[in-house]
Amino acid sequence: MAYLKGVYRTLAGIAMLMALFSVSPPGLADDARISVTDADGQPLANAVVEVYFPHDASADTGVEQIAQRDAAFHPEVLAIPVMSQVAFPNEDITRHHVYSFSPAKTFNLNLYLQETPPPVRFDKPGVVVLGCNIHDHMQAFVVVSEAPFHTLTDSTGQVTLPTLPPGEHRVRVWHQRLDDSQQRWWEGHITPADHLTVPLELNATPQPRPQPSPLQQRFNEAA
């Protein structure tokens, strides 16, 4: 009996040691996280978050896509690294004319229907505002980033960051309703252990309700 009690005490000690060693060592906290809200604390989805830290200068570029469907752009916001390409397929039965006059990228994709024009290369960082010459209410944004980490907030307004190097790192946050220029960013800093909340003052004029232009009406009648 005494032998069994000794065995149980030994096993209990081993279990305690395993529990102790399973705890993360000091300094290895949960991943840094950023939450983006409006001034009332409501979560903001589709905000672009950039984090700058030392990294290999090479970027993983490719071809992304913004489709035109139901007279709207899908997705409405796209974040890509510099030198990426974006294709603009038309999935509607009406023509579209995609364009941008933004300093980071000026281009025109003249009227087209089911065929997809060659992709557009975005070679400068910045916010590119997209429109359609046929459907005045259509708007979308391509955020071209040179940050080593950039992404969009989810439906809860949150982003979980990758493991960051020690120290303080620059953070930039953009949302399409920050101001009417649509070029303004919130700026701050984060460390690897931070859970940062970013409240944004949304001052941009809300988009008007879609109203078909005379040109759009003619195209709809001809479709």
Q: What is the pLDDT of residues 84-93, one digit of tens each?
A: 999 999 999 9
> pLDDT digits over 37-61, tens only?
999 999 999 999 999 998 876 666 7
Domain 26-206 has CATH 2.60.40.420: yes
| Best CA proximity match to 146, nearest among 91, 194, 104 | 104
Yes or no: say if 132 and 210 are a contact pair by the CB < 8 Å rule: no
Backbone angles phi, psi at 210, to 5 degrees: -60, 130
What predicted TM-score, i.e. pTM, was given to this entire model?
0.79
Neighbours of 110 (CB within 10 A): 11
Domain boundaries, the chain: 26-206
> pLDDT digits over 123-182, tens only?
999 999 999 999 989 999 999 999 999 999 999 999 999 999 999 999 999 999 999 999
